[in-house]
Amino acid sequence: MFDLMPFGRRENNLFNYFDNMEKNFFGDISQGLSSFRTDVIDNGDKYLLKAELPGFKKEDIKIDIEGDRLTVSAEHKDETEEKNDNYIRRERRYGSFSRSFDISNIKCNEISAEYKDGILELSMPKLESVVPESRRIEIQ
């Protein structure tokens, strides 16, 4: 019934063998995600970065700037004891997620962040672009 088996118990059959062989070769895609989805919107004078981080507490999210690189990272911590025998199925994962962005044309000191309903929003004001002065050089 919907693959409800005690956690850690596996049936030895040909289908599971091929499924496990594929996961071992390519990696389990559902477990291997170490990033999150983001949208970057150009609002003229600033960029708005929206990152999906559902299920995280505000305290679990870190935003670091190092040089011209902004890194957003979040970590789920497993606070429960390891009692795998009671699970029928366990799909929730604990781990860390991280994503870096180039902010070379951003005013780093004016970046602001807000986290609400699982969405992290970063408002990143652009540096004023300096247009080089044009001039004509006379040939002598």
- What's the pLDDT tens digit per position in 43-60? 999 999 999 998 888 999
Q: What architecture (CATH level 2) is domain 14-125?
A: Sandwich (2.60)
Query: Which pair of tokens denotes residue 9?
Result: 């118990």
- What's the pLDDT tens digit per position in 84-137? 567 777 666 677 889 999 998 899 999 999 999 999 999 999 998 777 788 888
Select from 74, 68, 77 the least CA-distant residue to 98.
Answer: 74
Q: Where are the chain's structural domains?
A: 14-125
Instruction: Name residue 119's beta-bridge partners.
Output: 52, 116
The whole model's pTM is what? 0.62
